[in-house]
A and B are shown apart, each in its own frame.
Chain A
């Protein structure tokens, strides 16, 4: 099956610094990738939809200047949390859709990145 990786799996950064999270589709080309945020014991909340070669579409309430998304190639999307603060601490998950998988629109999920801001 399709595999999506994320790096790093866990990152600790100091308040005020920026951190970049990478999401890669390993065995397929993903024209669309998605970024989610998940708080403990809660569901996944869609932050933005990332389309290769164009600007990301952010969900209402998500600060686009704080959460920078770049989808420069068909296998890589990055999420940069700028000027991180403790309230940005969370679990971030990416997913990718395989356009070659037919019309079922299944999304393949990365293993997630735990961000802790001190």
Chain B
């Protein structure tokens, strides 16, 4: 079974600064997909960024980028130029190539301070 671990329950960052959220996972699969989801106070799950394991290039979406280290099974999220609207719970998630089940990490609560 796959597991996803987020070791930082809570983090805070000053507005306009950069913050990195950590995620590690465990799997015996060679091909899979990784995601970062944001859950703001509204509790709507929002996809932030995705990464296919077979791609070596790290995914980037505007101010959000990942550092994907396949050998280390690490998938961290970097948020640049943090904004107040980035305050939310962030979940790292894994799905295997069969797409059977999305496994979530425990989440990191990020607070962006003005």
- Residues in chain A within 8 A of chain B (CB atoms): 34, 38, 41-44, 46, 49, 91, 93, 95, 97, 103-107, 109, 111-112
Report the bound CA distance from A111 to B102 in whole Å: 17
- Other CB < 8 Å A-B pairs besides A104-B50, A109-B45, A111-B43, 17 of them? A38-B43, A42-B107, A43-B105, A43-B106, A43-B107, A44-B45, A44-B104, A46-B101, A49-B100, A49-B101, A93-B43, A95-B102, A104-B33, A105-B33, A105-B95, A106-B33, A107-B102
Closest A residue to B91 by CB, please name it: A43
A112 partner, pick from B35, B44, B95, beta carbons under 8 A: B44
Report the bound CA distance from A103 to B99 in whole Å: 9
Interface pair B50/A42, CB less than 8 Å apart: no
Report the bound CA distance from A59 to B109 in whole Å: 26
